[in-house]
Amino acid sequence: MHRIVSKAQLSPNVTRLDVEAPRIAQIRKPGQFVIVRRGPRAERLPLTIADANPKAGTIALVIQAVGKSTKELVALNVGESIQDISGPLGMPTEVIEKGRALCVGGGVGTAVVHPIAQGLHAQGVHVTSVIGGRSKEWVIFENELKCLGDVVVCTDDGSYGRKGFVTDAAKEILTAGGIDIVYAVGPVPMMRAIANLTRPFGVHTIVSLNPVMVDGTGMCGGCRVEIGGETKFACVDGPEFDGHKVDFDLLADRLSTYKTHEQNANTCADGTCRVGLQK
Amino acid sequence: MSADTPAPAAPKKMSPKERMAIQRQRMPEQDATARAANFCEVNLGLTEQVAMLEAQRCIQCKDPKCVSGCPVRVNIPRFIDFLSKGDLPGAAESLLGDNALPCVTGRVCPQETQCEELCVRGLKGEPVGIGYLERFVADWAMQNGGRPAPKAAPTGKKVAVVGGGPAGLTAAGELAKAGHDVTVYEALHQPGGVLVYGIPEFRLPKQIVDKEVQRLTDAGVKIECNVIVGRTYTLPELRQSFDAIFIANGAGLPVFMNVPGENLKGVYSANEYLTRVNLMAAYEFPKADTPVLVGKRVAVVGGGNVAMDAVRTAKRLGAEVASIVYRRTKAEMPARAEEVHHAEQEGVAFEMLVAPLEVVGNDKKWVTGLKCQRMQLGEPDASGRRSPVAIPGSEFVLDCDVVVVSIGTRANPLLTATCPELKLNKRGNIEADENGMTSLPGVFAGGDIVRGAATVILAMGDGKRSAKAIDAYLKSTAA
């Protein structure tokens, strides 16, 4: 059992839970994730380890509540527990040893960028983060990233930081030159746009993929992605890959596999549907 | 049957002639039409009376061939003898002393190619229903309890078992019996390995696995779930904290066909399909949170036990057509005879001598069919099976909306990658001698990680043998 020691609402649908997981807190590396199962009958959900406190033995999980499972997870309160957390899973981030890195985070992806920036900062790499959200209330992890380098905030509506997409700000920074590597995490269209943006600049670009997973150890193959025409398992070969080689269409497409199921589960959970309740 | 049912009086001793005259008893089954729509167990188990009658069929050979056919060397005639005399506690004690998971093996072993194949009664007529009897005695013991196995005094030695599947659990039970302090590390959230994620409820109810596991924890085995050795701990770390290690993490990596279209929506590995339905109980969606695609027409590629489990699962989930697609004929299928028979009864279609070429999809990237070609059998290959040869111009598309690929698994490199000194073969399987000893002192391995994908009982045999070897190793290193 993993007790929740603190809980914070980061944006209208993003919640941070700090939970006890001492072993994982001690050994996790940037880019790694855990599989979380709230309790009996719950799904196994892959979540990036957004931060860790080895002394307190806790890890930070940042959850965007979209489906039934994530909504139930963020409904847990401080003092309550998550039954299963396994990890750390996945390959650690390929962290450069010196130079300048551009970290781009969109929405909840910013929480995934955070540990990468931590790893880079620890190496002495100069980090510039470009993070974005629809409007001010959707911007997360700004202060945490400010501790690790420069931060440029973008909002779609201009309610905070600069108006526009993260790609616009990223383009300016790339044009100014000096960037050795780009890390981008966010919705699939954003990662695709960043990869397309950096390609002509010839800057190595790493993206973190979030396909559907079950076990997270290479056993099921549900997280198949194509990298340079080759099938890889995101859970063991990734989740981070060369953004210039990722088949984003396939990723987006496979992510839609259970769309109808999710809608059904949601309507069941909010009481508007009776399927499965009669027995 | 319950504990307070008085045991029937011991039957009078039968003459060999009388024994030979008894016909093999049939296993009562759930009706085929009914069961094809539920996940309840297919085989219902023998009654005590019928089990005792079947036990009388055993002629108690002086040199019992059946025992040599059993990978864990259960003393078959002995427990059957107790049973035939109506001594159920005696039968249970005998069986449990030899086999750590008899409720499981009585249900999932391929008896027809092991113990029962060698039964002398099979020479003329049908062999003794050893599997049925094992299941009967094991279930009786589970319901009525039995004397706990005698346990040696604590040795103070610590053993880590990596993987809570059949090999690991068997080894853990044996090692605990020998007085060692055993910790099992299981990667998933529930112990059992393939018994919980792979083998479906209708063949092996999960409750039975839970009870077998409970029996082990009662015997002092510690089980830690959600620990992935290779990630949470490395093998070298375990070597520092334990006196010996038994690696039994299975062959968990699914093999795909490597044909175009395999990443379309609706293509599953058998591992994923079965894990969703079994471990995650997707058949109860949305009461359970994990979904699975319920196809109208499901094609399962492969001819092994896992393929049978997948295709029968598809039928139960509601597929109108559930087919096995196999490139040889039924005669070459590696699946257990009973599973094939049950699948046929349940209305599974068999597309034999058919090999997939491509998964076909629509513009939304959903599977719509499996492009295949017809095969014919040619010369025998290295395995002795006649190899399939394509018939030119025989291509056709099998309509389906879900494809389950069940053509095998290979070794998962997560653990071995953290310990380069550990010798592997070309396929990534750990090299181990007949006692499970690897290239590293104190590190033993068994089950699928050594053999490649095999059966539950072979894994259990490895677990039992390795436990013995580990015990000997620990005694030899005792200060």
Cβ <8 Å between B285 and A219: no
pLDDT band for position A276 (cuts 50, 70, 90): very low
Cβ <8 Å between B232 and A23: yes
Cβ <8 Å between B265 and A256: yes
Q: Tell me whether residue B11 is in a domain.
A: no
Q: Does B265 reach chain A within 8 Å, measured CB to CB? A: yes
Same domain membership, residue B172 and residue B122: no
Domains along the sequence of chain A with CATH: 2-89 (2.40.30.10), 100-255 (3.40.50.80)
Cβ <8 Å between B286 and A275: yes
Cβ <8 Å between A261 and B262: no
What pLDDT is stored for residue B386 in this prediction? 83
Same domain membership, residue B162 and residue B137: no
**Nearest by Cα to A48 from A229, A234, A177:** A234
Same domain membership, residue B136 and residue B163: no
Element (H, E) at A102: strand A100-106
Cβ <8 Å between A276 and B286: yes
Read off the pLDDT of each residue in B156-167 and give the average, rounded to a whole number: 96
pLDDT band for position B147 (cuts 50, 70, 90): low
Distance between A3 CA and the closest CA of chain B, angstroms: 16
Chain A CB contacts of B194 under 8 Å are none
Q: In angstroms, rounded to a whole number, what is the distance separating the alpha carbons of residues B303 and B300? A: 9
Distance between B355 CA and the closest CA of chain A, angstroms: 21
pLDDT single digits (tens) A38-87: 999 999 999 999 999 999 999 999 999 988 899 999 999 999 999 999 99
What total of structural domains would you count in chain B?
3
Same domain membership, residue B373 and residue B266: yes
Distance between A276 CA and the closest CA of chain B, angstroms: 6
**Which DSSP state fits B331?**
G
Read off the pLDDT of each residue in B20-30 and give the average, rounded to a whole number: 92
The larger pLDDT score, comparing residue A69 to residue B146, is at: A69
Same domain membership, residue B245 and residue B274: no
Angle subtended by helix axes B337-345 and B305-317, to nearest 10: 20
Burial class (CB in 10 A: 0-12, 13-18, 19+), B321: middle
pLDDT single digits (tens) B71-102: 989 999 999 999 999 999 999 999 998 998 99
Same domain membership, residue B414 and residue B402: no
What pLDDT is stored for residue A274 in this prediction? 45
Chain B CB contacts of A234 under 8 Å are none
What pLDDT is stored for residue B479 in this prediction? 55
Q: Tell me whether residue B151 is in a domain.
A: no
Name the domain boundary from B144, B171, B190.
B144
Q: In angstroms, rounded to a whole number, what is the distance separating the alpha carbons of residues B265 and B369? A: 12
Cβ <8 Å between B275 and A275: no
Cβ <8 Å between B253 and A219: yes
Q: Tell me whether residue B275 is in a domain.
A: yes
Q: Tell me whether residue B229 is in a domain.
A: yes
What pLDDT is stored for residue A18 in this prediction? 97
What pLDDT is stored for residue B167 in this prediction? 95
Same domain membership, residue B399 and residue B438: no
Q: Does B288 reach chain A within 8 Å, measured CB to CB? A: yes
Chain A CB contacts of B289 under 8 Å are 41-43, 68-69, 265
Q: In angstroms, rounded to a whole number, what is the distance separating the alpha carbons of residues A78 and A97? A: 38
Looking up residue B112, the CATH number of its domain turns out to be 1.10.1060.10
Q: Tell me whether residue B26 is in a domain.
A: yes
The top-scoring range by mean pLDDT among B150-154, B332-336, B436-440 is B436-440
Same domain membership, residue B135 and residue B100: yes
Name the domain boundary from B112, B144, B176.
B144
What pLDDT is stored for residue B477 in this prediction? 85
Q: Does A266 have pLDDT greater than 50?
A: yes
Residues B10/B86, Cβ–Cβ less than 8 Å:
yes
Q: Which residues, in sequence order, are CB contacts of B23 under 8 Å at separation 6+?
A: B125, B126
Same domain membership, residue B272 and residue B353: yes
Would you say how long chain B is, in residues? 479
Cβ <8 Å between B272 and A214: yes
**Residue B127 CA from chain centroid, whole number:** 22
CB atoms within 10 A of CB A260: 11
Q: Tell me whether residue B364 is in a domain.
A: yes
Residues B463/B171, Cβ–Cβ less than 8 Å:
yes
Chain B CB contacts of A250 under 8 Å are 263, 365
pLDDT band for position B155 (cuts 50, 70, 90): very high
Cβ <8 Å between A89 and B228: yes
Of A27, A68, A236, the CB nearest to B289: A68
Residues B340/B330, Cβ–Cβ less than 8 Å:
yes
Q: Does B224 reach chain A within 8 Å, measured CB to CB? A: no
Looking up residue B247, the CATH number of its domain turns out to be 3.50.50.60
What pLDDT is stored for residue A270 in this prediction? 56
Read off the pLDDT of each residue in B289-307 and give the average, rounded to a whole number: 95
Same domain membership, residue B316 and residue B400: yes
Of B226, B232, B280, the CB nearest to A214: B280
Q: Tell me whether residue B149 is in a domain.
A: no
Q: Does B421 reach chain A within 8 Å, measured CB to CB? A: no
Region of residue A116 (left: phi > 0; alpha: psi -120 to 50; beta: else): alpha
Same domain membership, residue B397 and residue B262: yes
Read off the pLDDT of each residue in B24-50 and give the average, rounded to a whole number: 92
Cβ <8 Å between A276 and B188: no
Q: Tell me whether residue B5 is in a domain.
A: no
Name the domain boundary from B407, B436, B463.
B407
Q: Least CA distance to B226: which residue of chain A?
A: A86
Same domain membership, residue B222 and residue B123: no
**Which DSSP state fits B214?**
H
Domain limits at B442? 158-252+410-477
The residues with which B372 forms a beta bridge, in sequence order, are B356, B396
Residues A36/A15, Cβ–Cβ less than 8 Å:
no
